[in-house]
Amino acid sequence: MPYDAENTLRHDWSVEETESLFNLPFNDLILRAQTLHRQYFDANQVQMSTLLSVKTGGCPEDCAYCPQSAGHDAGIKAEKLMAVDDVLAAAKEARDGGSTRYCMGAAWRNPKDKDLDDICAMVEGVSALGLESCATLGMLTDAQAARLADAGLDYYNHNLDTSEEFYGRIITTRTYQDRLETLENVRQAGLKVCCGGIVGLGEDRRDRAGMMMALANLTPHPESVPVNMLVQVEGTPLAGTSALDPLEFVRTVAVAKTMMPASVIRLSAGREQMTDEMQALCFLAGAASIFTGEKLLTTPNPEKDQDASLFERLGLSPAPPDDRPA
Ligand code: SAM
Ligand code: DTB
Ligand code: SF4
C-alpha cells in the first residue's frame, strides 16, 4: 500500500495517550499492532540490514550507553576512517549474505567536510553494488545532508534515543534540539529518515512513551524506526543498569508500530541478549527488520546460522528493499 494513501497517520500524540497504549493488556496491544502492520506490510517478511563501523572509537560525545565515547574506558581503540575499498569489500560480502541495506556508522560528533569525500565515495560504491545505503555520522548541517543526498545516500540514521525529559541523564554534550535540527536537515535534503531510540537505560514507562510520542509527532514519520535494547558494555556509565523486562521491550515495539504503522520498525541492538521467543514476539508486535552480520558496530550480534534457523522456525522470509519514495 502506498505511504499514507488514506492520510490516516497521526502526528498529534500526547504523552498520556501514548502511555495509555503502553498500559493496554498485552494481548490487546499486540493484536492492534499486528493488525495495523498487515495493512502496510507482508507480515511474514523481515528485511535485513548490515552495519559497519567505518570510524571507530575516540568520540568526543558523552552518551552514557556508548562504548565509543573517548570519556569511557570500554576497551575500544580509536581508529581512523576506514579505506573506501575495505568498506566496499565488506559491503559486497553483506550483499552476498542476503542483506539489502548497508549502514555505515562513524563515532563522530559531526563529520568534517573533508571526511565527506570518502564517505560519499563509500555511498556511491555501496549503491553500485545494488544495496540501499544508510549512514550515521552524528550531527549534519543542511549543506552536508545535501551533499550526501547528491552522492545517492538513501537513509540517514540519527536517533532521539530517549524522551526529552530523560535525555539530560544520558547525554550532556548535545541537546535534544540539536538532534531535531539534524533530522530536519536530513528531511529537507530529501533523504529517508531512520530515527529511533534505546530502551533499558534506566528510564521509566513514561519516558518510553515520551520518546515514542516525539518520534510519532515527527512529520512525516521516520521511514525507519530502530528500537534498540541497551547493550551493556563494561566501562560505560550504564553498565550494571537493571535489565528491562523483555515483555516491556515487546510492548515498546508494539507501541511504535501502532503509532507509526507505515514505518519499518527495526529490531536493532540487543538481539544477542534476546531469546528466540522474545524475538518472535517482537515480529508479532510489528518489527520487520533486523541487523545481520557478526557485529553491530562494536558489540556482537547473533550468528548467521542462528538467524537462518529462527527465520525457518517462524516461516519468515527476507523482505526486498523498501523502494517507497522519501
Ligand atoms: N555517532 C553517531 C551518533 O551518535 O549519532 C552515530 C553512531 S551511534 C553509535 C548510533 C546509535 O547507536 C546511537 O544513537 C544509539 O541509539 C545506538 N547505540 C550506541 N551504543 C549503544 C548500546 N550500547 N546499546 C544500544 N544502542 C546503542
Ligand atoms: C541504531 O539505532 N542502532 C545501530 C545503528 N542505529 C547505527 C547501532 C547499535 C550500536 C550498538 C552498540 C555497538 O555495537 O557499538
Ligand atoms: Fe559518539 Fe555516537 Fe557513541 Fe554518542 S553514540 S558517544 S555520538 S559514537
CA of 278 to the centre of ligand 2 (A): 19
Please check the confidence at residue 7 and state whether its pLDDT lies above 90.
Answer: no
* Terminal Cα-to-Cα distance of the chain (whole angstroms): 15
Render pLDDT for 223-250 as a digit per residue (tens, 0 to 9).
999 999 999 999 999 999 999 999 999 9
Among protein residues, the one whose CA lies closest to atom 2 of ligand 3: 107
Quick one: pLDDT at residue 324? 67
**Are 283 and 243 a contacting pair, CB within 8 Å?**
no
- What are 300's strand-pairing partners? 295
Would you say residue 3 has pLDDT above 50? no
pLDDT tens digits for 104-121? 999 999 999 999 999 999
**For residue range 28-44, what is the model confidence (pLDDT) as tens digits?**
999 999 999 999 999 99
Ligand 3 pocket residues where CB is under 6 Å: 59, 61, 63, 66, 68-69, 107, 138
Atom of ligand 3 nearest to the CA of 62: 6
- CA 222 to chain CA centroid, nearest Å: 10
Coil vs helix vs strand at 312: helix
Average pLDDT for 66-87: 96
Measured distance CA(228)–CA(239) in Å, rounded: 16
Q: Is the CB of 122 under 6 A from ligand 1?
A: no
pLDDT band at 320 (very low <50, low <70, confident <90, very high): confident
Q: Determine contact, residues 251/18, Cβ cutoff 8 Å.
A: no
User: Residue 143: its pLDDT value, please?
Assistant: 97
Asked if residue 193 has pLDDT above 50, the reply is yes
- 231, 299 contact by CB (below 8 A): yes
**67 in contact with ligand 2, CB cutoff 6 A:** yes
> Atom 23 of ligand 1 has which residue's CA nearest to it?
231
Please say if the pLDDT value at position 2 is more than 50: no
The predicted model gives 152-165 an average pLDDT of 98
pLDDT band at 321 (very low <50, low <70, confident <90, very high): confident
Average per-residue pLDDT in the chain?
95
Nearest atom within ligand 1 for CA of residue 109: 1
Q: What pLDDT sits at residue 6?
A: 53
- The confidence score (pLDDT) of residue 322 equals 73
The residues carrying an active-site annotation are 59, 63, 66, 103, 134, 194, 266
Residue 150, pLDDT above cutoff 90: yes
List the grid coordinates of 153: 545516500
Lowest mean pLDDT across 127-136, 161-170, 252-261, 312-321: 312-321
pLDDT value of residue 326: 65
Region 278-294: what's the mean pLDDT? 96
- Cross-strand bridge partners of residue 134: 103, 155
- Ligand 1 centre from 66 Cα, in Å? 6
The dihedral through the CA atoms of 251, 256, 262, 267 has a sign that is: negative
pLDDT over threshold 90, residue 1 = no
> How many angstroms separate the alpha carbon of residue 203 from the centre of ligand 3?
19
Q: What is the DSSP letter of 273?
A: G
Confidence of residue 8 (pLDDT cuts 50, 70, 90): confident
Confidence of residue 278 (pLDDT cuts 50, 70, 90): very high
